[in-house]
Structure formats: C-alpha cells, structure tokens
Structure 1
Amino acid sequence: MDYKPFSGIDLDNSFFDSLKADYKEFETWFKKKQTDGSKAYIEIDKSTNKMVGFLYVKVEDGEINDVVPVLSAKRRVKAGTFKVDAHGTKYGERFIKKIMDYAVAENAEEVYLTVFSKHTGLISLISRYGFIPKATKITQNGTEQVYVKDMKLYTGNVLLDYPLIKKAGCKKYLLSIYPKYHTRLFPDSILNNESYDVVQDIAPTNSIHKIYICYMYGCANLKPKDLLLIYRTSDGKGPAKYRSVVTSVCEVQEIKTRRSFKNVEEFTKYSSAYSIFAEKELKEIWEQVDPKTNRPKQLYVIKMTYNAALGKRVINDDLKSKYGIGIALDTYWGFIPLTDDQFQNVLKGGNVNENIVVD
C-alpha cells in the first residue's frame, strides 16, 4: 500500500472506470484533489502490476445533513472514496485496518461511507467489521446506503468490535517472537523508540488477522479474547535489555492444537491463510519431533487480530524496572502471564491510544 498525492495517480487508469460510471462528478472531484495537495492510499498487485485498491479518508465534525435521517454532529472519519477489487483477498482487510488506524489516531467517534447496494463484495467486507446501515443518501447518481461504524461500541464480538479491546474478563500475556519471524508478521512495527505514524504506515503485509505457530507449553492456556503483548526478542545488535521490545497488542481470535487437524494438509490449509510461514515451513513445523518422547511436538496455532502497534516500543529493561515483568531469575520469556496492572502500564508506557481500550 502506498500513500500518494492525487497528482501522482493516473485518473485514466482503468481501475477508476467503475467510479466514473457510478459518480458523474468523479472526474471533476479527482482533478480538484490533484491540485490541492490531497493524498490517497492505493494498492498495487505486484503480480499483475495493476491497481486493486483506492482509499481517500478525511475528518468531519459537523452533522451529515444530506442523508435521511440526518446524522447528528460527531467527530467522524469519512471514507470518501473507497474501492477494492478482489474482496476475497487480504487487500480489503488492509484498507479496513488503515481506516480503523486513521480513525483511532484522529479520535473519531464514528467512521462512515456510502455504498450502492450492487456492491455486495464491499458491503460484505465492511459489515464483517462492524459497519451497519444507518441512513440513505439520494443524489443524481442514485440511492446509496450510509454505512456507519461506532468506534465506541463494544459488543463482545472480536471482529465487529475491532480494533477495540476489553480489559475485563480476559487474561493477558506477553508472547515472544524471534526477530526473523517478527519482521515478517509485524513489518510495520518499527524497532526503535521513535514516534509511530499510522497515517504514513504503508507496510505491504499489514493486515487485521495474524497466525503464529509455536511449541510453547503455556499457550495451552490461551482462550478467545485473551490479550497479547507481542515481544520481539533481541536481534543481537546490542544488549538484550535494550534490543528486546514490546511492539504490538493483539487479541486472540481462536487457538488450535495438533489435535484440531486431521492431517498436515488440513493444518497447512488453515495456517497458510494468515501465516508468515511458507507451505514448506508449515510442513516442517508439523513434522517436528520431541527428542524426549520421540513423538510429534505439541504445537499451538494462534489466530489473532492485530489491534495496535505501540506508539513507543517498551524495552526489556523497562519491563523489569518499571513494570515488574520478568524479574524472577528463572523467568521464561517465551510466554509470561501478566497482571491487569502490568498490561495496562505497558500500554500506557507504549503510548497506545486509550480510545481502543474498553474497561
């Protein structure tokens, strides 16, 4: 995904043909944006070199009075122009995540967009993540439904609530990931203490869902809605107390074990959808044997939603000295249960936007 000025985007690209057909004013609007310095997110499919996604977002504070019923004044993010081809791929999710990140950064109460009923793929995509029809908009172009997502509403459904996380009623853990895997799984989680800018985040593999596979015994305790602080272990380029860092916050969607799958084919099919591992790697993981028992290793497949990157990475030294995490000499840093206070303090120390946290 690239964040580009309209002036650098070709209006004659065939990708825009359907938008021109749906909206009579589209070309005039686009050309105006090309001259006023506006930017938009675009996605190019590297295999075909074709544009497959476009998103323009903006912040609004007034009432929406050109729809029925009128929507009262709130701070909102509007996906002013949003089109994604191939809704069955992760491209659509990348754009949904970008919209959500943008809304959280802008402290928006709601996000909305208008869509014609014929665009069933887009409606299915946004509905999955909590957008519901709230109004109707009638123009010279026809009748559109106004889909709105309440950024403050928590329902208890992991997908509908995304990116919100609820602290109460769940357990919290620190989950460690080796650098070579972390870079592939969370490529937008920069590994220093500089500010993190969600608007400029253009990581190509940024997506809502992640799958991680490990052999750590403690993961057997994981349950849906449990919260994870993702901990990237040291890369060896300096002392671990400075190079090992918490980078992200995730929510467990589901957890599976070896017994969840009939065979390696079923395991590979499930895991490959959101995993960082190639098919060959997945088969190697499945075939790992415990040298003590000479039996296949127990493995844990963790499917999680990627709710937030820490604005400031929290280093190992701070985890110990400030938050009392891992201070015992025999601490196993692979998987550590956290108290509610420890979890909350790390979020605060990492500048995680408090708007995504529900008490």
Structure 2
Amino acid sequence: MKVLLDTNIVIHREAGNVVNPDIGILFKWLDDLHYQKCVHPVTVEEINKHKDPKTVATFNIKLGNYHQLKTKAPINHTVQQVCSKIDNDKNDLSDTTLLNELVNNRVDILISEDKQIFHKALLLGVCDRVFTIDSFLEKVTVENPKLQNYKVLSVKQEHFGNLNLADEFFSTLKQDYPGFDKWFNRKADEIAYVCKQDNKLLAFLYLKIERGTEDYSDIIPAFSKKKRLKIGTFKVDYNGFKLGERFLKIIFDNAIQAKTEEIYVTIFNKRLEQQRLIALLETYGFVFHGHKKSGSNEELVYVRNFSKKANRDVPKVTFPYISTKGSIFIVPIYPEYHTNLLPDSILKTEFPADYVENEPFRNAISKVYISRSIERNLESGDMIAFYRTGGLYKGVVTTLGIVESVITNIKDEHEFIHLCGKRSVFSIQELLEHWNYKRNNRPFIVNFLYAYSFPKRITLNDLINLKIIPNVNSAPRGFAKISFDDFKLIVRETKTDESIIVY
C-alpha cells in the first residue's frame, strides 16, 4: 500500500520544534501496517525553498526515510477539467499535482490536512481515498483491531492541583501562553475534565461561566453583555477515538445546565491539532467572531450562538437542540449494544467500569444505526426515541437522537463497511454478517446525533398503559412512527429537560 503524504504532514512530522503526538501515532500505524510512506517531488521542491540552508539540509536528510516518487504523473484529463476552474495559485497547483497521482493510481491513498484538497477530491470522485489524520486512524483501527494498543480511556473530572503540570501534554500550552504555569497553579482547587492513558494526559477541558460583567476589551469586535460559557482551555492530543466529540458533548451539556446564551473559545491555529479542533468546532456551529490580543500574538475567537433553535437540515450546527417539526420515531436497540453505543444512557443495573470510553463509537456524538425496518422514510432533523429491549418491565425508553441522514441503496458490503466506519457498535465481521443476513432485504444506515438521555426511564409496560403502544406484541421491531401527543407523554413521564426541545 503506497501512502502519499501531503507536505503539511511531512513538515509537522520532521520539524524539530513541533510537539505533536498525533503525527507519531499516524506514523506508528503506517509502520505497523508496512505501508510505504511516499513524498512527491513538489514536497521536496517546497522544502528546498526554505530560506535557511541548514533547515533545508536537515530536512533533506530526513526525507531519506521516505520513498520519494521519481516522476510526476501526466495530468489526467478529468483532473485538468475540474481543477483548472478553481486553482488560483502555486499552492492550489501543488494540491492538484498530488491528487493527480491518486487519480492515476500511482499511489493508493493520500493523507492531508488541507481542506481544499478534500473539496477537489470530492469533485474528482476520490474522496474515499483521501484522509485526514483522524479519518485515517479511524479506518485502520476498525480494520485492524488486533493491532490496537490502548488501554481504557475515560473522561473524568479532576482538580487542577492533582494534575502534573510537567506532563508533556502541557508543553504547547506553555509555549503559546506565557505565564500558563502561574495561571494553572492558581486554579489548583478548580475542576477540569481530563482523559488519561497510562497516567499521561490525552485531553483537557476547562470551562467557565461568565455572566456578562467581564472585561472583553481585548476581544475585537467587542462582545455584548450576555451570559456565556467560556471554553477556557481545550486540547485533545489523541486521534482515532473521537475524544474531541466526547468533550464537545460535555461542553454542550454544561451550557444547557447553566442556561447560557453563547459559548466561545479563543484559540491559536499554529498547529495541526488546533486546526483540527477549529474544524470540529465549525462542524458544530461555531463561527469566527474576531481576534483576541494574547501577549504579543493574537488568538482567533470562535462563538456558538446557543439560543434555542434547531436546524433540521444541518442539525449539528444547533446541537443539542431538537426540533419537533418533523416525524418522531421509536426504535429498538438490543441490551448488548445499548450502552456501548449510548454510554450516557447506562442503566442503574449496569456496571460503569464495563462501559468506559475506550471505543470511538462510544465517544462520538454522530453515530450509526443499522436497520432492515420496513419504515425507511426518515429525514434529516427527525427525532428518534431509543427503546432498550427487555420485555414488559425491563424494556425501557432511554435516549433521544436526531436524524442526520439516511442511506439506502448501498451497492455492496465494502461501501456498507466504509459508511459505518467507527461510528457503529459492530465489528467488521458483524457488519458483514448483517449485510449478508438477508440478501433480498439489505440493511440501510441511519446517521444520527446522540442528543439526550432521559432522566427517568419508562418501561414497555408504561408505554402500553399510556397507549403509546397497543400491547406487548406491538413492541417496536423497526422504526415505528409515533404522534406528537405520544412524544409529549414520553417527555412528561421521563421528566425530560424541555429546554432542549424546540416546539
């Protein structure tokens, strides 16, 4: 397998002053899988343009560890047609040159963090062979479970004072923020959300409620007065396990609980992990606001309007708010899969240690549900109530989800596995079994957002008594549409926080 690495990946890997564990994890996987790490002549050309001869010499020595493509593929006609319309400068032309190698099948995949490359790949029909670091790690971990070398990953609350400030995790924060050590030590008795592996930090989140009386004079344009949730510090090092999404859900849960009007974060975009974090925030509705003076530098300011509204077409941008304007469904999920897929909906009878977030699908907000239901007419923004099967008294309604998309007419098992990715609770073998179980009734996929866990769980018996379900034989076996009045009964009986529901 020949893997072409974009220039930004190579530079971040080989630059001596960049601390980026994510790149190390990527290269470890490439080595473990015996994939050939390739660089293109345009990458060598770009590196050789550096002003410092010593830097150029050092990089050229390090490039000896890669397979350098000896020639450039002739420009493909389709590539020429598509890219000539959108290429504006030398960087654009370099991106096109890399993609041209892929289209000509001289390499098997391309790894990049460049958004423009992904846009072009989509237009050229090769987006399934172009990966970010995150998406590549998702792919290889799901395809090679025996090669995964991780222990339990869990998100916990921890006092600052119990954390090791000398941990390498904090090194980039110290570089970015002069005085970080003093700030950190002053927070000794305050709480942060952390994720550790082998006693080393992988992710860190600190949140602060602001009530509109703060001095925002260093933010341009200036903030108006309103109650905000500030993402004080947010860093995620580890890739492939959806920790960023897990922490985002914590942010949104805190914003709901505090009844804030807006969420904001100030962040640099110097390193890949910061750029990926910005991309994740934008996916969930954060928009660029302006700049904040930070010492001699400027941070970017991103804000998320947290007023109560729901976008049915793109529900991520208003997550976790749920619209009642569409259809509402109830759908079953078996006990053996329930808490793995919906970890915040764990039952009191289950043991939390069995469900610590060491699988990507547990951490993700965006998840996959596989079904053969007769009812397939779900649309973006529709609501799903998940029913954990178990009979009259053990079967319970636990969770609300928001439909993102529905994928039917899947052409083959390879596309099916690719579409499920790491957001499904099933292994590749189990996915193959699902695909081949009934050849005349192939499964379809519902992509949904894991929005809310009911505080009180109502049983199948309750659903029958409330006349939402006629009898025990009518327990949902696929997607079953329920009325708005039925949904209101579920909301009432489960003591749902209605602040997330947009009527």
TM-score by length of 1: 0.86
Match of 1:331 in 2: 474
Does the Cα contact within 8 Å between 2:323 and 2:382 map onto a contact in 1?
Answer: no
1:231-281 C-alpha deviation (Å, 9 max, x unpaired): 1011xxxxx333111111001111123x22x32122112113200001111
Cα shift readout 1:12-51 (whole Å, capped 9, x = no counterpart): 11010000011112111111222xx2111112357xx742
**Residue aligning to 2:73:** none
- The answer for the alignment partner of 2:175 in structure 1 is 21
Distance 2:287 2:366 in 1: 21
Partner of 2:384: 228
Question: In 1, are the aligned partners of 2:406 and 2:445 still within 8 Å (CA)?
Answer: yes
The 1-side partners of 2:161 and 2:379 are apart by 48
| Per-residue deviation, 1:203 | 4.8
- CA distance in 2 between partners of 1:274 and 1:329 (Å): 31
SS at match of 2:246: helix
Q: What is the 5 A alignment of 1:1-359?
A: 1-34=155-188, 37-45=189-197, 50-64=200-214, 65-66=216-217, 67-86=219-238, 90-118=242-270, 119-152=274-307, 153-156=309-312, 157-168=314-325, 170-192=326-348, 203=357, 205-218=362-375, 220-234=376-390, 240-257=391-408, 259-260=409-410, 262-289=411-438, 295-322=439-466, 324-328=467-471, 330-334=473-477, 335-359=479-503
Cα displacement string for residues 63-107 of structure 1 (whole angstroms, at most 9, x for unaligned residues): 442322322222221111111125675121111111111111221
More strand by share: 1
Distance of 1:133 and 1:175 partners within structure 2: 38
- Deviation, 1:150, is 1.0
Between structure 1 and structure 2, the one with the greater Rg is 2
RMSD: 2.2
- CA distance in structure 2 between the aligned counterparts of 1:43 and 1:192, rounded to whole angstroms: 24
Unpaired stretches in structure 1, ≥5 consecutive residues:
194-200, 235-239, 290-294
SS in 1 for 2:392: helix
The question of whether the paired residues in 2 share the 8 Å contact of 1:87 and 1:122 is answered with no
For residues 202 and 70 of structure 1, what CA distance do their matches in structure 2 show? 41
Which deviations, in whole Å up to 9, do the C-alpha atoms of 1:271-299 show, x marking residues without a partner? 1320000111111111113xxxxx44331
Number of matched residues? 333
In 1, are the aligned partners of 2:464 and 2:472 still within 8 Å (CA)?
A: no
Preserved CA contact (<8 Å) 2:311 2:381:
no
CA contact (8 A) 1:247 1:310 kept: yes
What is the letter of the counterpart of residue 277 of structure 1?
F
Distance 2:487 2:171 in 1: 48
**Distance in 2 (alpha carbons) for counterparts of 1:213 and 1:315:** 23
Q: Which amino acid aligns with 1:325?
A: I
Deviations 1:164-213 (A, max 9, x none): 11111x100111111001121112212249xxxxxxx9755232111111
TM-score normalised to the size of structure 2? 0.62
Q: Secondary structure at the match of 1:145?
A: strand
Deviation at 1:348, TM superposition (A): 3.1
| Equivalent pair of 1:24/1:141 in contact (CA under 8 Å) | no
Determine the C-alpha separation between the residues in 1 that align with 2:392 and 2:311. Answer: 39
Aligned partners of 2:280, 2:238: CA distance in 1, in Å? 11
User: Does the 8 Å CA contact 1:116/1:143 hold for their aligned counterparts?
Assistant: yes
Deviation at 1:320, TM superposition (A): 2.3
SS, match of residue 243 in structure 1: coil
Higher helix proportion: 2
CA distance in 1: counterparts of 2:386 and 2:328, whole angstroms: 11
Structure 1 residues 312 and 203, CA gap change in structure 2 (3 angstroms)? farther
Structure 1 residues 279, 141: closer, same or farther in 2, change over 3 A?
Answer: farther
Report the CA distance shift for 1:298/1:42 in structure 2 as closer, same or farther (over 3 A). same
Alpha-carbon distance in 1 for matches of 2:492, 2:416: 37
Query: C-alpha separation between the residues in 2 aligned to 1:329 and 1:243?
Result: 12
Give structure 2 stretches of 5+ with no counterpart.
Answer: 1-154, 350-354
- Return the offset for 1:337: 1.2
Change (3 A) 1:7 1:329: closer
Instruction: Provide the rounded CA distance (Å) in 1 between the counterparts of 2:311 and 2:445.
Output: 25
The structure-2 alpha-carbon separation of the partners of 1:248 and 1:30, relative to structure 1 and needing over 3 Å to count, comes to same
* Contact 2:167–2:200, Cα closer than 8 Å, also in 1: no
- Residues 1:45 and 1:296: Cα distance change in structure 2 (over 3 Å): farther
CA gap of 1:128–1:89, structure 2 versus 1, over 3 A, is farther
Indicate how the Cα distance of structure 1 residues 155 and 288 shifts in structure 2: closer, same or farther if over 3 A, else same.
closer
Q: Secondary structure at the match of 1:217?
A: coil
